[in-house]
Amino acid sequence: MTEETEESVITEEFVIFTGFEVEVKDHNNNIKKVRFDTKEIPVEYGPLLEIIPELHKEIIPKLQLDTIDTNKENDTDKKIYKYYIHVGHGHDNIIHIEKLAHKDGYCLKDNDEKMPEEGVCPNYDQKEIETDVDVDRLVDHLCLKKEWKKIERSDNAGRYLCEYTFYVSLCENAKKSIPGTVLFVHVPREGCPYSIDELAQILKDIGIWVTENY
């Protein structure tokens, strides 16, 4: 855990991701206590238009946050997330960190045998939208400093549920008065080449770097 200093300011921010808790420091040497949560979402286009916006509740003032009991297991709905790291199944032997998502081109049916009308995501105007994360710098951090292999930036998230999720999340985030940070990571199957524990550590490294830098 990070030692506190007299100059440090401690804040608490929520990440919708996975189940561990760490402390990190931002560029001003302030401590941020970071709580990671997880939520599984269906492989269906329709429900995503309700689930993702619900996760993107507007950031509320600190005084209101102080009233939230974050120790209650069933209190997830009251948390206000700043970071959204979506994870989906990608190709074997490579991890792709996605840079952008598109409004159209969704012509593959989901698990409910449905697809968006004319392959277009409704409700948003942006033809394409990018994450504000410097993906190239993140990849360099993971490969050079953390010494992970087979991690690359991608500009093609697949035009299926993964990219659809990414697009909706980015658009919802852009609507906020105080936007958060949205990222999508495509991971391979277990053993191709990483074990489950290694994949979990890579995702943890990604989450920590994002909260340190944004």
3-state secondary structure of 185: strand
Walk me through the domains of the chain, giving residue ranges and CATH numbers. 44-56+84-213 (3.40.630.20)
Neighbours of 54 (CB within 10 A): 10
- Kindly report the pTM of this predicted structure: 0.81
Beta strands in the chain (DSSP E): 11-16, 21-25, 31-37, 81-89, 95-98, 100-102, 128-130, 151-154, 181-187
65-101 in b/e burial notation, b at 16+ Cβ within 10 A?
beeeeeeeeeeeeebbbbbbbbbbebeeebbbbbbbb
The tokens of 22 are what? 């760490």
Category of 208 on φ-ψ map: left (φ > 0), alpha (ψ -120 to 50) or beta:
alpha
Q: What percent of the chain has pLDDT over 70?
A: 76
Determine if the peptide bond prior to 116 is cis (ω within 30°): no
pLDDT at 73 over 80: no
Q: What pLDDT, on the 0 to 100 scale, is given for residue 7?
A: 54
Residue 65 has pLDDT above 50, yes or no: no
Q: What does the alpha-carbon distance between residue 61 and residue 174 come to, in Å, rounded to a whole number?
A: 19
Whose tokens are 């340190």? That residue is 212
Q: What is the mean pLDDT of residues 69-76?
A: 46
pLDDT at 18 over 60: no
Distance, C-alpha 160 to centroid of its chain: 17
CB neighbour list of residue 191: distance below 8 Å, 6 or more residues apart: none
Q: Residue 100 contacts by C-beta under 8 Å, 6 or more apart in sequence?
A: 128, 129, 130, 131, 155, 157
Q: Which of 16-25, 50-59, 108-117 has the lowest average pLDDT?
A: 16-25
Distance CA 178, CA 59 (A): 7
Average pLDDT over residues 58-63: 48
